[in-house]
Amino acid sequence: MKIRHEAHTIMSMLPDRQRAFIIGSPERVSECIQALSDADIEVWHAYPINALATGLMGTSNPPDVGPAQIPELFLNYLADIPPGPLAQGWRQPILEAVKDAGERYFNAADRNFQLGDVRSAAHDLCSAVNCAVIGQAAIRGWPHADASNDINTMLGLATGILPADQTQFRAVIDNTAEENLDLNSAYGAATGILQAVDHGYFHAFGYTTETATQLARHAFGLITQTGGPTP
Amino acid sequence: MTPWDRRLLSEEFLTRSDAEFNPSGNDQIAAEILWGAAAQLLLIEIHREPTLNFTDHGSYRDAATFLQAKSTGTVVLTDFDCANKLHGHFYHGHLSESDLRSCRRITKRFIQRLGTYLDQSTEASPPHTA
C-alpha cells in the first residue's frame, strides 16, 4: 500500500506522543505500515492515518490491550466499523504529531533554500501545509489520500460541508460567504508556490524565499488552529 | 487610460470571464480574463502610488502587499496569489477543476474588496459631468 509521505511522517512521529503509547516505537509504526499491505485496502486506502490501527492489529504481534487501553479507534476497527472520526483521545496526539511533522518540513525547506534548491524547498513547504490538512481530515474521519481530498477538506473546514463530489464542490464554493474563504485563500496561495516552481514562474511572479515561507507558514498556522465542531 | 477607464474595463473583464467559464467555454481564457479584471484594479493603485512602480509581473505582487498593509487587511495578499494562479493557468492549464473553481471564487472576493477600497478614492470614481 502506497501512503503519501506526509501521512507517513505524521504517523512516524506519533510514538513520541505520550498518549499514543499503544503504538510503541517508530519501528513499530513501520511494521504497522507494512502490515497495511494485507489489510482491507478497499476500506482504508483513503484514510492512512485512521488506518494505523488496522495495520497495528495486523502485525505479527498485535498489542495485548485491555479495555482501559483501547482507544475508540481500535474499538471501531475491532467492531468492523468503516473509517470515522478519531476518538477524542487520539486527536491531540495526531495534532501534535502534525506540528512536529510540519516543523520538520519547514526546517528542510530552510536548508534547501540555503542550498539554492528552490524546487525541493517548495515541495517541503507544501508538504508542511499538507500535514496540517491531513491532520484535520484524519481527526474528522475525512479522506486524506491525495490533493483532491485536501482541497475538499479545506472547503469542508471553511464551510462545515465536506463536498461529496464535484457538483457539490461547485455549489458549496460558489455559495460560500466571502468571510469564510480565508482558509481556502491561504491554502490556495500556499499550493501556488509549488505550481509556480514546477512551471517555472516562481521568480517571474514575484515570489522570494521569504514570501514563499511566509505563505506556507500562514496557511499552516491557520489550518492547524482551525477548531470548529468535529464529529 | 484613466483610473475610471480601468474600473470599467475590470467590470467588463469580470462579465466576460463569467461568460467564458461555462462548459462550452475555455477555462484557460476565462481564467486569464478574470486575472485581467484584478490586474486592472491593481494598476490603478500602482500608477497613483508614488512608492509603487511597474517594472514587471512581480510589481503586481508588490502592489498587493502594499495594499494589504494600507487597507489594514481588507485587501488580502493570499487572495491576490490565488488570482496569480489563474494567470499561471492561462499558460500551463495546470489547475484542477476544484482548484480553478476555488481560485475563481477567491479572485472575485479580491476584486470586490479591492473595488470597495478604491471606491474611497476620488481618482477611481466616475468623472464628474458638467
Cell matching residue A169: 464542490
CB atoms B105 and A201 under 8 Å: no
* CATH number of the domain encompassing residue B88: 1.20.120.330
Best interface-test mutation with A: which of B65, B82, B92, B107 has the largest number of A CBs within 10 A?
B82
CB atoms B81 and A189 under 8 Å: yes
Residue-wise pLDDT for A165-192, tens only, equals 999 999 999 999 999 999 999 999 999 9
Q: Residue B99, SS3?
A: helix
Quick check: is B77 in a domain?
Answer: yes
CB atoms B78 and A188 under 8 Å: yes
CB atoms A204 and B57 under 8 Å: yes
The contacts of residue B22 (CB under 8 Å, 6+ apart) are none
User: Does residue B106 belong to the interface with chain A, where contact is any CB pair within 8 Å?
Assistant: yes
Which among A127, A89, A87 has a CA at the least distance from the CA of A106?
A127
pLDDT for position A59: 67
Looking up cell 495486523 gives A58
Residue-wise pLDDT for A78-89, tens only, equals 555 556 666 666
Quick check: is B130 in a domain?
Answer: no
Q: What is the architecture of the domain spanning A94-224?
A: Up-down Bundle (1.20)
pLDDT for position A24: 64
Would you kindly state where each structural domain of chain A is located, as residue ranges? 5-78, 94-224
Looking at the 3D structure of chain B, how many domains does it have?
Answer: 1
Neighboring chain A residues of B77 at a CB cutoff of 8 Å: 189
Domain of residue B41: give its range: 3-124
Minimum mean pLDDT among A132-141, B55-64, B117-126: which range? B117-126
Residue-wise pLDDT for A36-95, tens only, equals 665 556 667 788 887 776 666 666 666 655 544 545 555 555 555 556 666 666 778 889
